Amino acid sequence: MKNKAYWTDQALHFNKYYSNSGTFSIKAFVSKFLYCRTNVIMSLISPAGSKAMLDVGCGSGIHIKMALSRFKRVIGMDISEEMLINARKRLYGVGRDKYELLLWDAEKNFPFKSNEFDVVISIGLLDYVNPKTVLLECKRVLNKDGFIIFTLPKRPSIFFFLRGYLGNLIRKNLLDLPHIENIANKKGLYSLIKECGFEPLCIKSVWTTMWVVKAKNSEDKLGPNLPSTKA
């Protein structure tokens, strides 16, 4: 992970976007995007009663907290101790039998048995790591009837100007955000899904800048039709 130093030492710069209530600033704009993305993700997660969920790159635990009522057990793992400290604060008062937080590098083999989880999510992580490496481990720990939800930056996008040299300067100096390593067009996204042994159930585009994918385990080829909506 080229941005490892950011996530280990400056992660709370990113976390503040989940609580930015401003209206007319560029940072508030980022916060509104994250709020919309979270709503899309939660609409795709299982209803109450599922057994176990893994959040790969769980950050400050916002998706863990929202998913707790739907799962008997939720595990989050992240490379940033800062983020995990903040996640513990966010989850204060929740019974520790309901969740677990692990300090872990997602590009290493996950410390779990195969077929252990009903749902795996990875939100905002594949922007910065090797997507195939992480998704193959997600597939390994996902049970045969389970599904994954992950996000990946989208191309083309009306926000393309934030992904070049000048855009990276804006991200770093004005937004306190690291530069994005991975972007996928529709063809590349389909290829990644297939190469990692998944079959897409739904793909959504959030603000033209982010793919949100829900997929299940499959060894079959991708079908010709795929539901796709914008949020």
Q: Is 91 exposed, middle or buried (0-12, 13-18, 19+ CB in 10 A)?
A: buried
Per-residue pLDDT of the chain (231 residues; tens, 9 = 90+): 666 666 666 666 666 666 655 555 667 778 888 899 999 999 999 776 779 999 999 999 999 999 999 999 999 999 999 899 999 999 999 988 899 999 999 999 999 999 999 999 999 999 999 999 999 999 999 999 999 999 999 999 887 777 776 666 666 666 666 778 899 999 999 999 999 999 999 999 999 999 999 999 986 544 444 454 455
The strand pair at 71-78 and 50-56 is best described as: parallel
* Domains, the chain, ordered by start: 4-230 (3.40.50.150)
Q: Can you give the pTM of this predicted structure?
A: 0.87
Q: Are 84 and 55 in contact (CB under 8 A)?
A: no
Cis peptide bond prior to 156, omega within 30° of 0 = yes
